[in-house]
Structures are given as C-alpha cells and as structure tokens.
Structure 1
Amino acid sequence: MSWRVVNHDELLEATGASPYVDVAVPADAVAIVGEHGWAAMHPWRPSGHWGGAALVAPGAPPEAESQALAELLALAPDTPLEWFSTSAGRQLAAPPGFLVDGSGRWDFLSTRVDVPPAGAVFPGDLELLELDDATDAAELEAFGRAHNTDFEGFPGHGFSVLWLGLRDASSALVAIGGMHLLATGTPHLSGIVVDRAQRGRGIGRALTVALTRRALDRCGVSTLGVFSSNAPAISLYHSLGYRTHHRFHTRVLSAL
C-alpha cells in the first residue's frame, strides 16, 4: 500500500467533503490518502490532546489502518498521540513505542439545522442556568458521575466554554450539559446527563436543544459524540436533526 501526504484542502476533496474532516480536523493536521482511504493525526482541542483516525474502504487489507498510523508517526514522530480510531470492526495494531491501553466505540454526529422551538420547552418547575467550569466543577462532576458512570464532561479541566444546568425548586441539579470547542473552533456538546429519577419528562431533549442553539448561534454547526451502544440518545439526536457521520472504534494509546 502507498500513501501520499496531503494538506487539509486536498484531504477534504479526497474524502468527498467528509463532515468530520470539515469540522473536526484542523489545518495543522498530518494527513495522508491512499488507494484504500485516508488517515490523519490532529489535535482534538485547542489545548492539544492529539488523536486521529484512519478510514478505509470495507475491502481494504486488514493491516491498512495500522500501516497508515505507522506512516503518520514517521511523518511526525514527536506528535503526542493519545488515541487513534478506525471504523467499527476494523483492526489496529499498536505502533512501535506504544501500548493500546483501552478502547471505546462511539458515533460522531453533527447538525447545521435549527431545532424546533417546541423542543426547548422545559418543565415549569425547573430553571435553566449557566454554571461555571471552575467554581462549579465539583458539583458538576459529582452529579455527572452519580447519574452516568460513563460521564465525560471533564468539568474543571478548562475544556468547556459553557455549562448549562437545570435546578429544581430546592436548587438541586436535575440535568447538566456542556459545550467544548474542537481544535477547529467548532462547538462540541459533551457531558449531557439527566437525573435518573427525572428521565422521561423531556428534560434531556430540551437541554440538548438549548445547547444546540448556543452552538449554532456561535458557529453555525454543532457536533457531539455518543457511545454507539446508547440507542435512545442517538434516536433523540437524530430527531433533532443531527446525523451520524462515522461510527468509530477508538484505541487509547500510551507511550512506552
């Protein structure tokens, strides 16, 4: 297999204007294309946290993604790579000097479509508030972990530019959700959690609508990631106009 180095515009053209490349892959990405597909390494957030992906045709050789990753690392050997993704069901061997230290399967979605006004109606006993990523970090983390063991909002890390929360009459949190920025500046929703006892009231839908509108007002596009196994959440996001672009199998990489 052979790969050639491309810039961002060439990568976008080679991928048929992939929404992931368009909104999540910044101009300083290290990118290659070949006869079977494409691959890139890039920062995920403005602060770094490098990751990447190799997406190839279904009939590509099983080692295609592993070879693509090796090629990328040869082009940028000092890249602080933390994770790398393939399509679901594809193989990936740890490159020399790295250990696969965990994995996850998630879907990447985005929308540019405004959500229906009716979807933003909150139950009358709840108040929508902005919360602070630093001063409210402990409360956000405790609530998120209590109601979702897979909570990945990362409050207090400086990743979020916005947190919205819903409190009941006693000021107790019943739902939270955050907005990060990708390295491209694109808003990325994260950490949306509803109190288990309050689910089924439309709270998650209304909170997602509020966050999506903030993202669309900021940038004209909103993105999010969701575990591939979370069918109810994916159905909700689709009902609000989000579309799934890729189903990733991501491996966490640790340098030896």
Structure 2
Amino acid sequence: MNTIDRAALLAACNAELQPERFKDYGPNGLQVEGRSRIGKLVSGVTASRALIEAAISAQADAIFVHHGLFWRGQDGTLTGWLKERVRLLMAHDINLLAYHLPLDAHPTLGNNAQLGRVLGLEATARFGDQDLGFLGQRISGESFADADVLAWQLEHALKRPVVHISPKRTPIERVAWCTGGAQGFFEAAIAAGAQAYITGEISEPQAHLARECGVAYFACGHHATERYGAPALAEHVAAQLGIEHEFIEIDNPA
C-alpha cells in the first residue's frame, strides 16, 4: 500500500477547500492527530462513534468528515460521548479531518454541488451568507411541471420522503438549494428569485413564508442532502495522492 505523510493529506485538503476563507462554527482541518503515515482514508458525513468504529474495522489511517467533533458553544471538556469518540481515535492512532462550511461551498466537489449533480441541477449563481447557497435550473433546461413533480424527483433521487410546502401549482424553472440546516437561507433564496428552495430541514416560520411568498419549500433531510460531498472530496484527494479511499455510510433519518 502506498502511504503519504499526514501533512501532505492536510495540505491537499486545505488547497481544495480553502478553509481560511470562511467564518465557521468550529475548527476546519485536522481535529485529532493520529499516525504520521497514511495509506487509507475513510470518509463519512459525521464523526460519530459508529463511523469511528467502522473506520477502525476498515483499518483506516485517517477519517474525513463534514461534521467534526468540536462546535461553538461546547464547554471544552472531554467527557461522556465526546470523550469516548476521542478515546477511540487516539487509542487506534487515527487522524480526524473535518471541514464544515468549506465543504458545503466547494464549486464542484462540495455538498451543494454534489446534491445538484444528484438532482440534475446546474448552478448559475450563488446567494446567501458567504455565498453558500446555489441557484440554478435543470441541466436539461426544462422546467418542472409543478412542485409535486419536483417533490417526486427529490424523493426518487434521495430515496426518502420529503416535507414540502407547495403554495402554487405552476411550473418551476429557478431552483435554489443549500444542504443541511439551511432553513435560514430561505428569505435570501426568495430575494434571489427562486421559485423553489431545497434544503435539509424546516422550522416553523418557513411554512408561512412559502405560502405568503408563493415559493415552494422542500425539506429533504439534513443527512440525506449532505452525504455526497465528503466522499467526492475524499476520493478526489486520495486519487491525487495515490492512497486508498472508502466511503462508509452511517444511516441517519434526520
């Protein structure tokens, strides 16, 4: 097995994702330091105990995730569930790399770009805080006949039910999307001219805004919308560096 230095992996990830450009909720990059030589990289959505245990079984040297261990508002103590995740990583000398907003925003390999690929959408503009939201249309150039047709395509592509608020049965051409917990971007999507907005979650105000503004809203699941960026970026970097990569899916209904 070919191996590379940990610094080379970190440099390649940073070069692609440019974390210094983002104001984020937690640290991007190397969150837990493990062995210095890396031959196998495992990717996943969240640095959960289940993913860490699966990566140990897969004999990973490093794990690449979207949701890391450390977030704003934590008290800084290593206790309970956080202590156990860190203990497993350190006991098996596994590196943990996590990139949050930089992975959402990457123009081709990130969560938004990859969700667009899965859904057959092409971005033509960006919107929202730090330009995280994508705005575009179907790659085919055709409009969706109405919101129900778009809802069916979302459920078919993501293989899960979606919550949707469909105030009007009219064709949809301009679609905005932002993965994960981006319900707060809905007003920016409306201002950008979207006729429909796709994200992971919905909160109470968005249903009223959808009805009052006539813009369809689709909540497709936080995990379901963010399961594509981590493996795409990790596979790209692993191929670039000549190391092994494996994506491990840990199902999450949220």
Relative to the length of structure 2, the TM-score reads 0.28
Q: Which has the higher strand share?
A: 1
Q: Which has the higher helix share?
A: 2
